[in-house]
Amino acid sequence: PQTRAYRAALLHCLADPREVGGEASHEYFADGLLVVEDGRVVQLGDSGSLLPKLAAGVEVVEYADALIVPGFVDTHVHYPQMGVIGSYGTQLLDWLETYTFPAEGRFADPAHARDQAGLFLRELLRNGTTTALVFSTVHPQSVDAFFEAAEKLNLRMIAGKVLMDRNAPDYLTDTAESGYAQSRALIERWHGKGRLHYAVTPRFAPTSTPEQLRLAGQLLGEYPGLYLHTHLSENRQEIDWVRQLFPERSGYLDVYDHYRLLGARSVFAHGVHLCDEECRRLGETGSAVAFCPTSNLFLGSGLLDLARLEGHGVRVGLGTDIGGGTSFSQLHTLSDAYKVLQLQGQSLDPFKALYLATLGGARALYLDDRIGNLQPGKEADFVVLDYRATPLITHRLGEARTLAERLFALMILGDDRAVLETFAAGRSVHRRGS
Ligand code: GUN
Ligand code: FE
């Protein structure tokens, strides 16, 4: 077997700090050793005790002034939207029409899709993100392009074809029947292949007919382990529009509920304007919400009330929502999450923040049996963070006395520059500067 050990400070989460409190939520080794064999973690602990026991000939890779953490999990991102990041002056519905739909139209061309998929995955890995739940476009070839690229890198990824059969330009719509048939073909081709999973992906309620939503629910029942990925209650105008389109339903979430789209492995992006009953229903069904603070700020959508969702037992992960969001970096996204929660008197302690970006995300995706932390048996997806990423970070961390302080400052100041190296299934998939 191929065995390698990595020596640096080591930190990973064991539980939600909300559930266990204090030190028990995480495990930290100031001089740690992570032993990886055939793509999985086999041991982690103090270098002092593990190094002498390491079999002869095992290579030890040493990092100075570095912190190893689990690979980041992005629970909501659009790979075809890199080209619209930072588009000026609009909120959700105008932003979709003016910038986003035209950009997605170009993915009818498989060569463009392949090109963008490669660029997108490189960008994720440069930022330390090893797993993501990904929107493609309405074109099946955009899904093939994405999965082909992810498979080559052996990444644990979830994606699916967008379903959209109304209220969008002709060049971006399918029909209830063609969307269903194309989804089935993609599921057969990709779901469960290597580390890949398929997500049934109606864009959001306004762009699907009732028949398309019904068939989405039917698909979920036809194959085990499928995800459901969509948007929910992001923007006030959007919510009013859903009320007009589905007057027979009691609200936005009830539209999805009616078509049997809630449940474990259902992930709803945003959810910033939910009522208590909707939060309760999300919690009761094991559904997850993707918290997308950079996008919710950039598009002026609103502030997510994390405490309320968690109070109802809703699983919450962190999403960049590129290209409504503005950064691929989960560190940067946490910095905005902190500010959004500060505005609501909630704050976000650094261990909870790390949890959201790693184990919490893995739990939201029901993948915590495989990824999310570095316990023996888990897949070896991890990131080496650089305590000397920039002159300012070097200076600020020099002033920090505790791990919590260092972690928090890294989150507030850090981004892709703080990612020295990224590993997926034990293989280096990005090294800064190379
Ligand atoms: N709602 C429907 N489509 C989209 C999208 O592409 N981005 C965001 N942020 N919200 C959406
Ligand atoms: Fe989105």
What was the pLDDT predicted at 23? 83
What was the pLDDT predicted at 297? 98
In order, the DSSP letters of 346-403 are ----HHHHHHHHTHHHHHHTT-TTTSSS--TTSB--EEEEETTSSHHHHHHHHT--SH
Looking at ligand 1, which atom is closest to the CA of residue 204?
2
- Whether 321 lines ligand 1, by a CB cut-off of 6 Å, is yes
Contact 157, 79 (CB under 8 A): no
Contact 39, 380 (CB under 8 A): yes
Closest ligand, as measured to the CA of 85 = 1
Question: Tokens 């139209």 identify what position?
Answer: 105
- Whether 204 lines ligand 1, by a CB cut-off of 6 Å, is yes
Q: What is the CATH number of domain 72-328?
A: 3.20.20.140
What was the pLDDT predicted at 299? 98
List the pLDDT tens digit at each of the 434 positions of the chain: 799 999 999 999 999 999 997 789 999 999 999 999 999 999 999 999 999 999 999 999 999 999 999 999 999 999 999 999 999 999 999 999 999 999 999 999 999 999 999 999 999 999 999 999 999 999 999 999 999 999 999 999 999 999 999 999 999 999 999 999 999 999 999 999 999 999 999 999 999 999 999 999 999 999 999 999 999 999 999 999 999 999 999 999 999 999 999 999 999 999 999 999 999 999 999 999 999 999 999 999 999 999 999 999 999 999 999 999 999 999 999 999 999 999 999 999 999 999 999 999 999 999 999 999 999 999 999 999 999 999 999 999 999 999 999 999 999 999 999 999 999 999 999 999 98
- Whether 229 lines ligand 1, by a CB cut-off of 6 Å, is no
Ligand 2 centroid to residue 340 C-alpha, Å:
18
Contact 290, 231 (CB under 8 A): no
Q: Which residues contact 367 (CB under 8 A, 6 or more apart)?
A: 73, 131, 156
The domain segmentation of the chain, as residue ranges, is 3-70+373-431, 72-328
Pocket test for ligand 1, best of 95, 99, 100 (most atoms within 8 A of CB): 100
- The strands making up 26-37's β-sheet, listed across from edge to edge, are 40-46, 26-37, 3-13, 59-70, 382-386, 419-424, 427-431
- Whether 324 lines ligand 1, by a CB cut-off of 6 Å, is yes
- Whether 322 lines ligand 1, by a CB cut-off of 6 Å, is no
Tell me: the pLDDT tens digits for 162-194? 999 999 999 999 999 999 999 999 999 999 999
What CA–CA distance (Å, rounded) separates 350 from 407? Answer: 6
* pTM tops 0.95: yes
Ligand 1 centroid to residue 97 C-alpha, Å:
11
Pocket test for ligand 1, best of 76, 81, 92 (most atoms within 8 A of CB): 92
Looking at ligand 1, which atom is closest to the CA of residue 234?
10
Residue whose Cα lies nearest atom 11 of ligand 1: it is 231
Torsion sign (Cα): 399, 404, 409, 410:
positive
Pocket test for ligand 1, best of 77, 81, 203 (most atoms within 8 A of CB): 203
Torsion sign (Cα): 44, 49, 53, 54:
positive
Q: What is the CATH number of domain 3-70+373-431?
A: 2.30.40.10
- Whether 144 lines ligand 1, by a CB cut-off of 6 Å, is no
**Size (the chain), residues:** 434
Residue whose Cα lies nearest atom 9 of ligand 1: it is 324
What was the pLDDT predicted at 434? 83
Torsion sign (Cα): 155, 138, 226, 310:
positive
289-321 burial, b at 16+ Cβ within 10 Å, e below that, comes to bbbbbbbbbbbebbbbbbeebbebebbbbbbbb
Ligand 1 centroid to residue 148 C-alpha, Å:
24
User: Dihedrals φ, ψ of 91, to 5°?
Assistant: -105, 180
Ligand 2 centroid to residue 235 C-alpha, Å:
12
What was the pLDDT predicted at 339? 98
